[in-house]
Structure 1
Amino acid sequence: MAEINCSHCHLKFEKEQMIPESIDDKELYFCCNGCQGVYHLLHNEGLDSFYTKLGKNTINPPKHLDENVQKFDLDSFQKRFIKKTLQGFSQIDLIIEGIHCAACVWLNEKILYSTDGIIEANINFTNYKARIVWDDSKIKLSDIILKIRSIGYDAYPYDSNIADEKATKAKRDYFMRMIVAVFGSMNIMMLGVAKYSGFFTGMDDDVKAMVHFGEFILTTPVLFYSGWVFFRGGYYGLKNKIINMDFLVASGATLTYIYSMYILFGGKGESYFDSVTMIITFVLVGKYLEVIGKKSAVDTIDKIRSSLPLDATIIKDGTKQSISVDEIKIGDILELKTGEIAPVDGTIISGNAAFDESSITGESLPIAKTIGDTILSGTINTNSLIRYQASKDFSHSTISSIVTLIEDSLTSKSEIEKKANEISKSFSATILSIAFLTFLGWYFLAPELFYAVDANRFEKAFIVMISVIVIACPCALSLATPIASLVGISELAKNGLIFKEGRFLETMAKANVLVVDKTGTITEGKLTVTNFHKHKEFDINLLYSLVSSSNHLISKAIKSYLENHTESLKFIDLEEFRTYDAKGISATYNNISLLGGNSSLLNDYNIQHLNNSNSSIFYFAIDNQLVATFDLEDIIKKDAKEVISKLKEFGLDIVMLTGDNNNVASKISSLVGIDKAYANLSPIDKATYIDDLKKSGKIVVMAGDGVNDALALSKSDIAISMGNGADITIATSDVIILDNSLQGLLKSFEISNKTYKLIKQNLGISLIYNAVTIPIAMAGYVIPLVAALSMSLSSLLVVGNSLRIKNGKK
C-alpha cells in the first residue's frame, strides 16, 4: 500500500487510513482529526507559513484535550507556580514539550500572542522554557494550556527541583561516557605502542591486522556511546541550519573512523582508531567541565534554597497547626522556636529574639529583634520563642525572590556573549570550507616530495583535513563568555550581590558615571536629632501626630526623639494629610493648618525662617507661623571615603544627588571625596539629571534605597538598590546589595570588571589559538591526535582563566 505524509505532522501513513480533504483546490491528507483541526486553526489564523518553516521536519500529532487541565486553575497550583507582576498580571514559567525546531517556537509564540488576554509569551529555544504573562480577567491558565495542546504540544510548569535533577543526571551521564572514553583511550594507547614500534622495526601483516582489529573493538563504543552527545548535538544543529562545534567533532571523528575501517578491511596505509578515541576523550573532558560549571551554579542556588524549612507552625483559632510553607498566607500568625528558620517575611507581634541574618546580609553577629521589627525569610532565631505575622507568602518572600533572580540571571545573555555565539556559528561553516579546500590542495597540488609513495596521497590529504577540522573546533570560542559569566554571577551571589540578569555584568563594566543617593547609601540612613529649638508654645501632640503619619526617615527620627523626651504623648486624628516630594508634609486639625518639612517647603508658603546649619533641618509651622526647628544628622558609613576612592580607580565619575539642603550636601560630599553633589532635588529632578547624562552618551549606574529614588533608578542603565530599601525600589532595580554596604557596591564593580576583562581575555585566547594553529594544521604539521589534544587544552585554558574570578586572582 502507498504511504503519504500527513499534511500537518508530516508523519507517513498508508493512504487508505488518511482523512482526505480539499482546501483552495489543494489536496490534503490528515492522519487524524487532531491534525485536521490544527491545520484548519492555523489556516484560519493566517499562519500557513508554519509549514514552510517546518520544511521536511516532523512533529507529534496533537494530544487529546484532557480534562486534567483543570488542575492548573486550583489555588494550590497557582500559589506554587504563579507570580504577580508589578502591573497585576499573572506570570508563569512553562516547559513546552514537543518542540523540535525553530518553527515550533515560532508557531507557539504566534498562537499565544494572538490569544486574547495573553500579554507576553517568550520561548527560549535552548531549553524550551516559556515565560507567559496573562490577564486573569480575560483568560485562565487552563485555557492557555489547552491552546498549546490544540496545536500539538504540551506544557507543564518549570520546577527548579526538576532543573536540579536534570543537571545532576547530565553530570552523571557525561561522567559515565567520559569513563568509557578514558578506558578505551588508555587501552588503545597500549596497542598503539606495539603498532608504532612495529612501524619502525617491522611487523607481520597478520599481527598488524590483529592490532587494527583490537583498536576497532575499543574505538567503536567510544565513538558511538561516549561520542553520542556530539552526534545528537550536531543533528539538532543541522535541523536548525546551524553547523556547530558538535558537528565538527562528530564529522571529524566519523570520517577518521570510516577511513580506519577501510584500512582494517584490506586498504593500504595506517589506521587512526587511536585518533578517534583521543578526539572524543579530550573534547568530552572539556564538555564535562562545562557541565560541572553549570551544576555548580545550580548548587549555589540549592545552598540558598536549603536554608528554608519545608513546613511551619501557624496559630489558627487558638491552636497550633503544622502546614507546608507553600500554604502560608499573608496575615497568618507563625510561631518560631529557638534554632528554627523563618519560612517567610513578617513582623514580630510577640516576644523578642536575636536573629542570625548571615544567609541574607552576610552579617556574622546576631541582630536583636523585638515587637514591630521585621524578620526576613531564611534567617535563624537564635535564642527565644517568638510569634510573628506573615507579610509575604512563600513565593514572594526574600529568600525565594533571591533564588528566582539568580535563576533568571544565569539564563540571560550579555551582548558580548550573543556576538560570540554569532561568530561561532559562521566560524564552524568557514572551518569546514577551509578543511575541504585543504584536502583538495594536498591531494591535487602538493609536490611529490611530501609523499613516501603516491598511494599515500589520499591518506595524507585526508588526515590533514581531519586535523584542520578537529584543531579548529570553536569550543574555546563557545565557552569564552558563558563560563566566565556563570562563574561571575555565582561569585556575586555568594557575596550577597544579586544581579537580575547576566547582561548587567557587561553594562556595569562599561559604566563611566556612578550616581549615588545620600541617605541610606553614603550615610547609614539613621537620622538623629541633635538640637531642638522651640520658637513658640504649641501642642506637642500635633507635631507627634503629623510625623507619625509619615514613613520618611526624618519623620521617624523626630517621632523617636519625641517619644524619648516627652511623656504622655497621644495620637490625634488629622485631616487632609498630604506629602510634598523632597519637601515635607502637611495636614489640618480643626481648621488649623500644620506644616512640617525643609526650607523649600517653607519658601513655598512664604514662611520666614533661617537656614544656616550644616545639618538637615526640619521646620514645624502652625497656621504659617514657625513654632519649632529640629537639627538632624546622619552618620556617614565608616568605609565611605575608602570605597569612593577605590571606585574612582575604575574611571567612574561619581555624583551625589540628594533632596537635602546645600550645606548638608557639601559637608557630606567633601568628607567622603565626591567631587560633584547636587542638593534640593525632587525625584523628578534626579530622573531628569540622569536622562541628561544618558543623552550625552554616558553609561549611568545609580545606587539608592528610598521610594523617592525609584523614578531615577528606572532611568539609569543599571539601578542598584540596597537590601533594606523600599520594596518598590528593589522591584525597579537591576542589582540588589543584600547587606546594604558600600563594600557590596565596590564588590559589584570589582567582580563585573574582572568578569568582563576575563571574557575579553577568553575571546582573545580562542581567536589567537585558531589564528596560530589552523595554518599549522593546514601545512600538515599536526596529526589528528595532537589536534584533539590542542583543541581541548584551549578549552581547559578558557575554563581555568574564568575560574580566576572565583579564586579572587586578578
Structure 2
Amino acid sequence: MSKIKCNHCHLEFDENVMIKEEDLNFCCKGCQGVYHILKDDGLDSFYDKLGNKTIAPPIKLDNDDVTKFDSENFLDNYVSKTKDGFSQIDLIIEGIHCAACVWLNEKILYDTKGIVEANINFTTNKARIVWDDEKLKLSEIILKIRSIGYNAYAYDSSVADAQASKAKRDYFIRMMVAVVCSMNIMMLSVAKYTGFFTGISKEVKDMIHIGEFLLSTPVLFYSGWIFFKGAYFGLKNGILNMDFLVATGATSTYIYSLFILFGAKGESYFDSVSMIITFVLVGKYLEVIGKKSAVDTLDKIKSSLPLEAVVIKNNERKTVALNSINIGDIIEIKPGEKVPVDGKIIQGSGSFDESTLTGESLPIYKKTQDIVYSGTINLDSLIQFEVTKNFKNSTFSSIVSLLEDSLNSKPTIQTKAAEISKGFSVTILSLAILTFVVWYFFGIDLGFDYEGTSQFEKSFIVAVSVIVIACPCALALATPMASLIGISELAKKGLLFKEAKFIETLAVASSVVFDKTGTLTKGELNVSKARILDDNIHKLNLLYSLLSASSHPVSISIKKYLESKYDLKIKELETVKNIEAKGMSAIYKNIEEKEFEIIGGNIELLREFGIYYKFDSTKTVYLFAINKKVIATFELEDKIKDDAKEIIEYLQNKNIDVIMLTGDNEQVASKIANELNIKKYFAKQTPVSKANYIKELKKENKIVVMVGDGVNDSVALSNADVAIAMGNSADISLAVSDIVLLNSTLNSLKDAFVISNKTYKYIKQNLSLSIVYNMITIPLAMAGLVIPLVAALSMSLSSLMVVLNSLRIKMK
C-alpha cells in the first residue's frame, strides 16, 4: 500500500486511513483541525518555517480536565503576580520539536487577547506566560495551546532537580564506559605503535585492529550517543553545533579505520575515535557537575524548611501541610524546630538562628510582636505565632524563586558568546573541507607523522584534526560556567540575584546611589532630646494617634519614646494624609464636633501650613502642632552603620561615583556625608525627585546602582539599572529590586561587588582563553602538525581550562 505525507505533521501514513480534503491530505482529524485553525488565524506561514521537518500529530486530550487550572489551590501554588498586577506562570509545553514549534506557540499566544508576554525556551521547553486574569482564564490559555496540537502543564522545580540528577548519572555511566574502553585501547595502541618502529607481523597487527574496533564501537555509539543526539537536533533546527563537530570528527575517523580493518593500506585510528569521545565527554561531565552544583544550592536551601507544621485551632493542635497554612493561623514551634512560614510572635520569646537566611552566626532574640521568618530555627523556647504570609509568599519561598530565576537567566555577554559559537561551527567545517582539498589536490607533504601513508589518508587525517581540535565547547562554556559558580557563591553569602545578568551590570557600574536611613545608617532613630511644651494628656493622645498611623522610622521612634513615658490611648482621626518626605496631617473631632487640625513633621511641613517656628538642629527634627500651635518638639539621631565607611571607600577606590539621596534636612544630610566622605549628596528628596535624579544620571550614559530599603525608595529603585534592597526592606522595595541583601549589612553589598567583578573578570578571561586557543591550534592542525588523538586531548583540555578557571571564583 502506498505511503503519503500529511499536510500538517509531514509524517508518512497509509493511504487507507487518509482524510482527503480537495488537494490536502491528513493522517488524522487532529492534524486537519490544527491546519484549519492556523489558516483561519493567518498563521499558515508556520509550514514555511517548518520546511521538510516533521512534527508529532496533535496529542489527543480530554479538554474537560482544564478546570483544575482555574482552581484556587492550583493558582495559589503555581501562579504569581507581577509588579504590574498581571498573573504569571511557568509552563512546560509538551510536543515542541523545533524552532518552528516555538514560533507557532508564541505567535498564537501573543495573538490571544489578554496575553501580555509569552517567552518559550527551546532548550527546556519552559514557557513564561504573563496575562491579565480579568480578560482571560488560565484554562483558556491551556486550551489555546492544545488547540494547535501541543500540551502544557505547570513547571515544577523538583522535576528540574530530578532531571539534573538523572543527567549527571547518565553522563557518568557513559563516561566510565568510554574511560574503561579507552584505557584498554591505549594498551593495544602501545603495542601497535611499538611494532610500527620495530616491525610487527600483519596477523598480529590485524588482531590489534580487531581488538581496537571491538572496544571503540561501544565508545562511539553508546558513550558518544549524546553527541549524535545533540548534532541531530541541531541540524533539525539549521544549527551546526559543537556536538556536530565531535560526531563528524569521530565518525569520519571510525569509518576510515574500518576501511583499514577490512584490508585497505594505512594505519587505523580507532584509538583516536575512542579518545576523541572520552576527552570531550569528560569536559561535558564537568559542565553537568557545575549545573548540578547550582541545583544543589537550591536543595540545600530547601532543606531548611519542614514539610508540615502544628496549627492551633479551637485549642486543638493539628499537623497540616505547608500549602494548607493560611494567613491568620496560629502555629506552635518547639525548641530546635524550624519556622515554616513568616509570622508575628503572640506568645513566648526566645532566640532564633537566622544564619540560613542572613549568614549571621549569632542568635537573634525575638519577643512578642516581633517577626519570625521561614527557614530560621527556634533555639530555646516554646513559641506561638500568627501567620502573616502564606507559604508561597514567605521569605523562604521568595528566596528559592529568586535563585531558580537567576540560575535560568543569561547575562548579555553569554548571549553574545552563544551567537559567536553558532557561526564558529560552520567556519570550522568549512576550514576542514578547505584543508582536505588543499592537502589532497596540491599534494602537500610536510613529513609530520604521515610517512608511508597515501595522500588521501594524509589529507583526511589533517582535516579530521582541524574538526576535532576546534573548540566551540570552551567558548560556549565560558560564560555559563562562571555565572553558575558566581550565583552559587553569592547565594552562600546571603546575596540573591534575581537574574544572572545583574552580575555583569554590577561589574560595570559607574554610579552607586544610596538612600540614607536604614541603608547607610542603622535606621534605628532614637529620641536624643524632647521638649513637651504642653503636657495635656488629651493633646499627647492626639500626637500618639498620628504617630500610630505611620510606619516611618521617625514616627516609630517617637511613639516608642512616648510609650516609655506616658500611658496613652489612640483616638480616631479623620482625613489622615501622608505628605512625602515631610510628615503627616489629620483632623480630629471631639464629642462636641469641634475640629482640631493636627500636623506632625519637619519645619518645611509646618511652613506649608502657615506655622513659622524657629528651630535649629543638626539632627532629625519632628515638630507636632495642633491648630497652628506647636505642642512638642523632638530631636532624633541615627547612627551610621559600622561597615558604611568601608563600602564607600571601596567604591571610591574603584572610581565609582557615590551619591547619597535623603529626605532629611540639609544639616543631617551634611553631617552624614562628611562623616562618610561622600562628595555628592542631596537633601529634602521626595520619592519622585530621587527617581528623576537617577533618570538624569542614565541620560548621561551612567550605569546606575540604587541601594535602598523603604517604600519611599521603591520608585527610585525601579528606575535604576540595578536595584538593591536590604533584606529587612518594605515588601514593595523587595518586589522592584534586582538584588536582595538578606543580612541587610553593607559588608554583603561589598561582597556583591567583589564576587560580581571577579565573576565578570573570569568570564572575559574564559572567552579570551578559548579565542586564543583556537587562533593558535587551528592553524597548527591545518598545517598537519597535530594528529586527531592529540587534537581531542587539546580540545578537552581547553574546556577543562575554562572550568578550572571558573572555579577560581570560589577562591578568596
Q: Same fold (TM over 0.5)?
A: yes
Contact 1:60/1:153 (CA < 8 Å) preserved in 2? no
* Separation of aligned partners in 2, 1:77 and 1:584: 43
* Separation of aligned partners in 2, 1:448 and 1:360: 66
1:640-719 → structure 2 map (5 Å cutoff): 640-719=644-723
Aligned residue in 2 for 1:554: 554
* Separation of aligned partners in 1, 2:167 and 2:453: 45
1:609/1:175 Cα in 2 relative to 1: closer, same or farther (>3 Å)? same
2:409 is the counterpart of 1:412? yes
Aligned residue in 2 for 1:503: 501
* Deviation (angstroms), 1:137: 3.2
* Separation of aligned partners in 1, 2:432 and 2:301: 48
1:454/1:360 Cα in 2 relative to 1: closer, same or farther (>3 Å)? closer
* Deviation (angstroms), 1:448: 5.2
Letter in 1 for 2:587: T
SS, match of residue 8 in structure 1: coil
Aligned residue in 2 for 1:12: 12
Mean Cα deviation higher: 692-701 or 617-626: 617-626
* Deviation (angstroms), 1:454: 8.0
- Pick one of 132, 146, 149 that aligns with 2:129: 132
SS, match of residue 389 in structure 1: strand
- Pick one of 605, 608, 614 that aligns with 2:612: 608
Letter in 1 for 2:279: F
SS, match of residue 607 in structure 1: coil
SS, match of residue 91 in structure 2: strand
2:55 is the counterpart of 1:59? yes
Aligned residue in 1 for 2:582: 583
Contact 1:253/1:279 (CA < 8 Å) preserved in 2? yes
2:234 is the counterpart of 1:237? yes
* Deviation (angstroms), 1:600: 1.6
* Deviation (angstroms), 1:325: 0.4
* Separation of aligned partners in 2, 1:319 and 1:618: 48
Letter in 1 for 2:35: Y
SS, match of residue 514 in structure 1: strand
Contact 2:471/2:798 (CA < 8 Å) preserved in 1? no
Q: Deviations over 1:28-47 (max 9, x none)?
A: 01111111111111110000
* Deviation (angstroms), 1:481: 0.5
- Pick one of 733, 739, 762 that aligns with 1:735: 739
Letter in 2 for 1:562: L
1:179/1:623 Cα in 2 relative to 1: closer, same or farther (>3 Å)? same
Mean Cα deviation higher: 371-380 or 512-521: 371-380
1:493-532 → structure 2 map (5 Å cutoff): 493-532=491-530
SS, match of residue 782 in structure 1: coil
Mean Cα deviation higher: 125-134 or 95-104: 125-134
SS, match of residue 631 in structure 2: strand
Aligned residue in 1 for 2:172: 175
2:477 is the counterpart of 1:473? no
Contact 1:83/1:91 (CA < 8 Å) preserved in 2? yes
* Deviation (angstroms), 1:147: 1.9
* Separation of aligned partners in 1, 2:216 and 2:61: 48
Aligned residue in 1 for 2:724: 720
Contact 1:643/1:743 (CA < 8 Å) preserved in 2? yes
* Separation of aligned partners in 2, 1:634 and 1:304: 34
Aligned residue in 1 for 2:757: 753
Mean Cα deviation higher: 531-540 or 152-161: 531-540
1:223-622 → structure 2 map (5 Å cutoff): 223-447=220-444, 450=447, 456-538=454-536, 539-566=539-566, 568-590=567-589, 591-622=595-626
1:455/1:348 Cα in 2 relative to 1: closer, same or farther (>3 Å)? closer
Letter in 1 for 2:5: N
1:238/1:550 Cα in 2 relative to 1: closer, same or farther (>3 Å)? same
Aligned residue in 2 for 1:96: 93
Contact 2:576/2:585 (CA < 8 Å) preserved in 1? yes
Contact 2:471/2:770 (CA < 8 Å) preserved in 1? no
SS, match of residue 758 in structure 1: helix
2:43 is the counterpart of 1:47? yes
* Separation of aligned partners in 2, 1:293 and 1:751: 17
Count of matched residue pairs:
803
- Pick one of 71, 77, 80 that aligns with 2:77: 80
* Separation of aligned partners in 2, 1:582 and 1:446: 83
User: Percent sequence identity over matched residues?
Assistant: 62
SS, match of residue 803 in structure 1: helix
* Separation of aligned partners in 2, 1:753 and 1:456: 54
* Separation of aligned partners in 2, 1:742 and 1:263: 68
Contact 2:83/2:736 (CA < 8 Å) preserved in 1? no
Q: Deviations over 1:620-666 (max 9, x none)?
A: 11111222210000011112112211122222110000000111111
* Separation of aligned partners in 1, 2:139 and 2:165: 31
Contact 1:65/1:146 (CA < 8 Å) preserved in 2? no
SS, match of residue 358 in structure 2: coil
1:219/1:527 Cα in 2 relative to 1: closer, same or farther (>3 Å)? same
1:636/1:18 Cα in 2 relative to 1: closer, same or farther (>3 Å)? same
SS, match of residue 454 in structure 2: helix
Letter in 1 for 2:258: M
1:448/1:708 Cα in 2 relative to 1: closer, same or farther (>3 Å)? closer
Contact 1:377/1:397 (CA < 8 Å) preserved in 2? yes
Letter in 1 for 2:65: N
Mean Cα deviation higher: 535-544 or 144-153: 535-544
1:468/1:664 Cα in 2 relative to 1: closer, same or farther (>3 Å)? same
State the superposition RMSD in angstroms: 1.3
Structure 1 portions without partners, runs of 5+: none
SS, match of residue 702 in structure 2: coil
Q: Deviations over 1:400-427 (max 9, x none)?
A: 1111111111111111111111111101
* Deviation (angstroms), 1:341: 1.0
1:25-40 → structure 2 map (5 Å cutoff): 27-40=23-36
Aligned residue in 2 for 1:636: 640
Mean Cα deviation higher: 712-721 or 341-350: 341-350
Letter in 2 for 1:176: I
Contact 1:249/1:473 (CA < 8 Å) preserved in 2? no
* Deviation (angstroms), 1:357: 0.7
* Separation of aligned partners in 2, 1:741 and 1:241: 50
Q: Deviations over 1:132-165 (max 9, x none)?
A: 2223333332232222222111112111111111
* Separation of aligned partners in 1, 2:453 and 2:173: 40
Contact 1:63/1:150 (CA < 8 Å) preserved in 2? no
* Separation of aligned partners in 2, 1:139 and 1:330: 27
* Separation of aligned partners in 1, 2:241 and 2:306: 44
Contact 1:2/1:15 (CA < 8 Å) preserved in 2? yes
Q: Deviations over 1:711-744 (max 9, x none)?
A: 0111110000000000000000000000000001
Aligned residue in 1 for 2:592: none
Letter in 2 for 1:680: K
2:776 is the counterpart of 1:772? yes
Structure 2 portions without partners, runs of 5+: 590-594
* Deviation (angstroms), 1:575: 1.2
* Deviation (angstroms), 1:196: 0.5
* Deviation (angstroms), 1:449: 6.2
Letter in 1 for 2:597: S
Q: Deviations over 1:458-516 (max 9, x none)?
A: 11111111111111121111110110011111110110000000011111111110000
Letter in 2 for 1:16: N
* Separation of aligned partners in 1, 2:655 and 2:457: 57
* Separation of aligned partners in 2, 1:31 and 1:610: 89
* Separation of aligned partners in 2, 1:415 and 1:397: 31
